[in-house]
Amino acid sequence: MIKLSVHIMTYNCAKYIEQSLTSVLQQKTTFPFEIIVSDDVSSDSTYKIISSFAKNYDVIKPYRNRQNLGVLKNFKKTLDYCQGEYVFDLAGDDWLSDPYALQSLVDELDQNPSYSFVDSGFDVFHDRTGKITSFFNKKIVTGTKDNYKEFQKIYGNYLMGCCFRKKMLISLVDFDRYIESGIDYEDYPILTDLVLNSDFGFIPKVLSVYRKHRLSHSNNTESFLKTKLFFADKYGFSKQEIQKIYNAHHNHQLHNAGLIGDKKLGRKHYKPFRQPILRNLVYFLSSQSYLARKFFNLFRKI
């Protein structure tokens, strides 16, 4: 019986998939696991590399979609292939940094049968600079469950580092409804359903690395806002929580405006702040002035 399925979705990950797969193959465990890889019609050599690995390692089971499904549909399709009691999600450009990562996650779920998932720490590797932000989510996985829930509602946590009990993932997350509604994010829907309907736990140490690069999947912020409001309506978030969701959206857009010098976007997302903090003022000025933006970008590099 397969104890754990490592769930990997890929799309144009030819530069990174070898490191990702190798990090899983090097895991030290006391149980059998499989690696389910579903490629969403990559235009590069991603699937060729995966197939080559699969010829040498029986635990790797590769699949290739006939057409591009998008994130949420591909997540669900990949999940359907998983035979394990537990499912660990890993992107095709990320990797495991602790050789006992999978063992630690499975042990935690075995010892806590009420948990629907366990979250863990991760580093962020900045592909352009080669720099690492250590223990990126330390506050989240070393804090309280109430704080985790609140952060999930307002901002959304990453699936990076999460290991799920498959039967609870299937029963508590309404994948079909979200796909029919046009939602194409996996992190927010999955974790919102789970944290608001079940128990969960943390492993407060770094087990994996998230690679941040220019091809990393980034949210369309307007679409992501609609997704959050969809769940705010579903679960009856308070007026204060909904306002925080809007504030987070405006702050993110204002930051983007400051980076690229979009005056119109900057004015649009600065205006809603009745009492803007200094950071928002800096973002706004950077969106309106080349000199301010140059100073801002210089400050960010320090």
Q: Are 137 and 92 in contact (CB under 8 A)?
A: no
Whether residue 106 sits in one domain with residue 69: yes
- The structural domain count of the chain equals 2
Q: Which of 105 and 277 is assigned the larger pLDDT?
A: 105
Is 52 or 291 the better-scoring residue by pLDDT? 52
Residue 220 lies in a domain: no
DSSP 8-state assignment for residue 30: S
12 and 51 share a domain?
A: yes
Residues facing residue 62 across a β-bridge: 37
Q: Hey, CA dihedral for 20, 21, 24, 26, is it positive or negative?
A: negative
The model carries a pTM of 0.92
Same domain? 243 vs 200: no
C-alpha count within 13 angstroms, C-beta hemisphere, residue 201:
17
Tokens for 15, please give them. 């530069």
Domain with residue 38: its CATH number is 3.90.550.10
Identify the domain boundary among 145, 177, 212: 212
- Helices 221-235/187-195 angle, 10° precision: 20
What average pLDDT does range 32-51 have in this prediction?
97
Within this chain, do residues 55 and 183 fall inside the same structural domain, yes or no?
Answer: yes
Q: Give the per-residue pLDDT at 293.
A: 77
Domain of 167 in residue numbering reads as: 4-212
Phi/psi region, residue 236 (left: phi>0; alpha: psi -120 to 50; beta: rest), is left
- Per-residue confidence (pLDDT) for residue 281, from 0 to 100: 85
Residue 259 and residue 153 share a domain: no
CB 172 within 8 A of CB 194: yes
**Which pLDDT band, with edges at 50, 70 and 90, does 302 fall under?**
very low
Handedness of CA 84, 88, 91, 96 (dihedral sign): negative
